[in-house]
Structure 1
């Protein structure tokens, strides 16, 4: 069945099938741009294999112990969260392949994205095991639990919700990897995470540009999707064991928190899209735009309160450490 091309009107509610068809040319353009700017890199080159040795168990090696790693406690928590998030790639692939399809430019992008994302988990796990940064038994058990539960998007209302979610999520993941490298305490780890963060940034640009095209073509529906995603955003790893406790530690440590989410993730994408400047919206689009503006004001206020609590807590910790 061939779907006839349609023209944009602000009030028309397009089906996912029509939207996918209309955005196919944009996907092809963005795919070609991505392939030109993406640089090949080899995960094995960023792993210090010479630091590796046998673990206890079948090979009768040395049991893991905390003091064997130079990675900081905060870096260890962040690395595990980041890796377990990457581990759920099969579920993520299923989500976007089901939504976007496997044909044409959409399908080519889905598989290319999956291939690039796949090396992130490979490289992170190799680094963690070679450097003995984490308990390998606990890591494997957490992986089994997390992957057994799978992943289902909170915002799978439409393909526009999916595009909006990944546009913000890819930037959030980039920031998380970048900050993890900064706090990890190992230059090799920071170097590896910089490569991964660069991949995530390129993925963000792809989805952000696609979202911009959708905003031009179907402004009301896209504004609604953006508002829904922003106001109900959760990181993809939220279902992993102990996530809430880990997230709290990462927030206090400065890896990822409300201020970072507001300033470094939401605002850059929204400013690029000029979301609050879009005019000519219908009632639904205007409502979504207003909801988004009010939410961002509230989130900024929450982030300010968090900043104050974080500063007070860190000051107390510093004072306690000085007394010891």
Structure 2
């Protein structure tokens, strides 16, 4: 089965890109970030004669704070994502139009989340700014998204699969971000925050659909190559915020309290997308593709075992915390 070059893939997939851009423009709904911020709750900080943030401000739980910070800092790295996608897609024709439109839509997310947090004093704005500076200075690269242990494996296929790695990764990442925003909105226990984050999640779903459909078109065009890229991404996946300050601590809190955990990753992100592409039902793979599909199936089998083990550990941890809280309540 002939392998297509990056240029050939771009050219052959251009009609699908144009079709998907047109579909997106028909269904996407424009919205204004300022409409989702409770401005009447705002007041000046110390440099303008008000009070600086303290821990008594705001009403977000620790879990909601961790999720909001993680999601916002992820959105902040947009310039790096734009660079990577523009390099892989080019800025010509429908590809270039999508890169610009996607970037403009994504930019709303960081704007509205930061305005909400600063106005409501949901988190420490100084600490948030310090974390933003660190995270954006570090930037983002596909290698970081693969995780430090799998960089060599990703780089081995990068030259021939750069475009396919990009569209496959962003398919899963956009859907994962949708799940995280949606659940963060519920965790905030604030109807305004919930409405804002549901609006963002709706955007992420539309963006996922674009990338998922492009990857699906690539699967039909070059099944073995595309499945190799998809398998690289699924078996190495990390969220793009993996290098941000406190990512591990915040990630544990989010997983423990149902914002984004391993079960959600498998059942709500990975498996629905693989099913949409009919990865385990199609019959157009060559020998290489069949071997890759077996590798993917083995990984998913192990992932389910990891999910069960995670859930058992989480349940024990939450039970211990509940018992400790009950004991403390009785003592007081």
Aligned residues: 313
Task: Determine the structure 1 residue equivalent to 2:132.
Answer: 143
Task: Determine the structure 1 residue equivalent to 2:148.
Answer: none
Give 1 or 2: higher helix fraction.
Answer: 2
Secondary structure (helix, strand or coil) at the match of 2:49 reads coil
Task: Determine the structure 2 residue equivalent to 1:5.
Answer: none
How big is the shift at 1:279? 1.3
How big is the shift at 1:280? 3.0
Q: 1:54 aligns with which of 34, 38, 44?
A: 44
If the length of structure 2 is used for normalisation, what is the TM-score? 0.93
Q: 2:71 aligns with which of 79, 82, 104?
A: 82
If the length of structure 1 is used for normalisation, what is the TM-score? 0.95
Secondary structure (helix, strand or coil) at the match of 1:14 reads coil
Task: Determine the structure 1 residue equivalent to 2:61.
Answer: 72
Instruction: State the distance in 2 between where 1:222 and 1:278 align.
Output: 13
Range that drifts further, 68-77 or 100-109? 68-77
Q: 1:181 aligns with which of 178, 185, 194?
A: 185
How big is the shift at 1:60? 2.7
Secondary structure (helix, strand or coil) at the match of 1:279 reads coil
Q: 1:23 aligns with which of 13, 16, 35?
A: 13
* Pair 1:257-2:246 in alignment: no
How big is the shift at 1:24? 0.4
Range that drifts further, 272-281 or 133-142? 272-281
Superposed, 1:227-266 pairs within 5 Å as: 227-266=231-270
Secondary structure (helix, strand or coil) at the match of 1:310 reads helix
Q: 2:111 aligns with which of 118, 122, 130?
A: 122
Instruction: State the distance in 1 between where 2:22 and 2:83 align.
Output: 23
How big is the shift at 1:317? 1.3
Range that drifts further, 184-193 or 277-286? 277-286
Task: Determine the structure 2 residue equivalent to 1:316.
Answer: 320
RMSD in angstroms over aligned alpha carbons?
A: 0.9
Task: Determine the structure 1 residue equivalent to 2:280.
Answer: 276
Secondary structure (helix, strand or coil) at the match of 1:68 reads coil
How big is the shift at 1:256? 0.9
Superposed, 1:214-229 pairs within 5 Å as: 214-229=218-233
Range that drifts further, 65-74 or 166-175? 65-74
Instruction: State the distance in 1 between where 2:291 and 2:76 align.
Output: 37
